[in-house]
Amino acid sequence: MTQKDIQDLFKAIDKFDTKAFASFLDDNARFKFANIPVITGKNNIFDFVAGFFQSIKAIKHKNLEIYELEGVRFVIGNVTYTRLDGSTLSVDFSNTFKLKGDKIKDYLIFIDNSALFK
């Protein structure tokens, strides 16, 4: 997974393109988003992410810093969520992608977005 692939992944997320997002995942991927339980399997992750996209109006990632180690990619940055009422929340995040070939097998999102639905 190249830096361009990672940038394309975040572009897909910011466009709410769940199909493009899922194309970066291994069929048996594991997805951990903040403090929710781990979701296993590309189809289950697709369903979760599609539902999450319906709960917000917009999302925008910026200031991405991408670091590479063999078989692992680390991304830090800032994300701004736009709630359905138009208000926003911006928070920093860190993602870890453990790879299987060129696909993500473990997608770990470290973020405190607990204020998003308050």
Distance, in Å, from the CA atom of 75 to the CA atom of 43, rounded to the nearest integer, reads 24
pTM, entire model: 0.93
Q: Are 27 and 46 within 8 A, CB to CB?
A: no
Residue linked to tokens 């992944």 = 9
Distance, in Å, from the CA atom of 98 to the CA atom of 87, rounded to the nearest integer, reads 33
Q: What single string gives the DSSP state of each residue in 21-47?
A: HHTTEEEEEEEEETTSPPEESHHHHHH
Tell me whether residue 65 is exposed, middle or buried, using C-beta atoms within 10 angstroms of its C-beta: 0 to 12, 13 to 18, 19 or more: exposed
Distance, in Å, from the CA atom of 5 to the CA atom of 29, rounded to the nearest integer, reads 17
| pLDDT tens digits in sequence order for the chain, 118 residues long | 999 999 999 999 999 999 999 999 999 999 999 999 999 999 999 999 999 999 999 999 999 999 999 999 999 999 999 999 999 999 999 999 999 999 999 999 999 999 998 8
Distance, in Å, from the CA atom of 81 to the CA atom of 76, rounded to the nearest integer, reads 16
All structural domains of the chain: 3-112 (3.10.450.50)
